[in-house]
Amino acid sequence: MQSPALAASSRPHAPAFEWALLAVLATCWGASYTFIKIGVATIPPVTLIAARTLVAGLLLLVVLRLRGVRLPTDAATWRRFALQACLNSVLPFTLIAWAERSVDAGLATILNSTSPIFIFLLGLALGGADRPTLRRLFGVGAGLAGICLIVGFEALNGLGHSLLAQLGLVVAAVCYGCAAMFGRVFKGLDPMVPAAGSLLSGAALLLPASLLIDRPWTLSPSAGSVGAVLALAVLSTALAFTLYFRLIKTLGPMSTAAQAYLRVPIGVGIGVVFLGETLVATAWMGLACIVAGVVAMTIPVKQRAVLNEAHKV
């Protein structure tokens, strides 16, 4: 019997639901920068990300068992899981956590929200389906302009003070772009399967590093940091990865990566509500730019374009 997730992803007349899921994904990942900032206050980056991937992977494994779905057992699939883990969790998660020890969350957001640009460029280099139309070029430009306005020009004052950390955030964005392109190899699997498989593979790579580098048994993490790790694992990883792989199948990599533009205003909003941050006047202008960019990059002109995109992968 076909799973509900697969059934939903195969419905040809439900694009609005997929865009709603994209907004949920953006919210999960938009909140992750706040969770990471709280977590790295008392937990080293490698250990934080090892715990994040392990808890999320085990949670998804339990859910799969309850649904009666088993992970593949062939070595080839697990090699793909391991590669996806490196591109979508091990490298970018660790780089972001490391960078946020010296870079403000706002600057981390703007530098790490460039993955759609790299997907666009990768699609051109590899001869992908995403063509350099004027609409997409406008969307890229509008999205970046909106990100700068949302975060505020003041955030750019930090450029140059933590160069390696800033470069690490850009590398993380490149990893996300590569992961979005590579994620299409899992088109025949239930969306939760590659999510669980890649997270468990990532945990297998990170746990030995954590034991060797951080000696976690010597740490004394705060309650806030522990709570942040759990929120990262459940909301920003387990749930987000399940949505991510589903949307790679239904919307395609370029449209899925557009959540990078959405998660900036969402992340700023979370900071306003829960951390007491204030929005600059240009934030509203930035929000308008981002919405225009997302529409230009992701909304097909015709319904047929939606169906074609949904069946490319």
Q: CB under 8 Å to 292, separation ≥6 — which residues?
A: 139, 142, 146
- In angstroms, the CA 310 to CA 196 distance is 23
- Residues 6 or more apart whose CB falls under 8 angstroms from that of 236 comprise 28, 29, 31, 32, 35
**Is residue 127 helix, strand or coil?**
coil
Instruction: Tell me how far apart the alpha carbons of residues 149 and 291 are, in angstroms, rounded to a whole number.
Output: 13
Q: 141-197 pLDDT, tens per residue?
A: 887 787 777 666 555 555 556 778 878 888 898 898 888 888 888 888 888 899 899
Q: Which residue has the higher pLDDT, 300 or 46?
A: 46
The DSSP string of 212-274 is HHT-GGG----HHHHHHHHHHHIIIIIIHHHHHHHHHHHT-HHHHHTHHHHHHHHHHHHHHHH
Least confident stretch, 92-106, 142-156, 214-228, 253-267: 142-156
Contacts of 164 (CB under 8 A, 6+ apart): none
Q: List the beta strands (DSSP E) in the chain.
A: none
- Do 151 and 110 touch, CB atoms closer than 8 A? yes
Taking residue 242's Cβ as centre, other Cβ atoms within 10 Å add up to 24
Which residues of 98-162 form beta strands (DSSP E)? none
Identify the pLDDT of residue 311: 35
- Amino acid identity of residue 11, one-letter, is R
Range picked from 137-141, 233-237, 246-250 for highest mean pLDDT: 233-237
* Contact (CB, 8 A) for 94 and 175: no
Nearest CA to 251 out of 7, 21, 92, 81 is that of: 21
In the prediction, which pLDDT does 115 show? 74
Locate 72 and state its tokens: 């593949």
For residue 172, give both structure tokens.
Answer: 């993380």
**Each residue's pLDDT tens digit, 270-280:** 877 876 766 66
Q: Are 182 and 82 in contact (CB under 8 A)?
A: no
The more confident residue out of 175 and 256 is 175
H or E segment and range at residue 289: helix 282-298
Whole-structure pTM value: 0.77
Q: Which of 210, 98, 209 is nearest to 164 (CA)?
A: 98
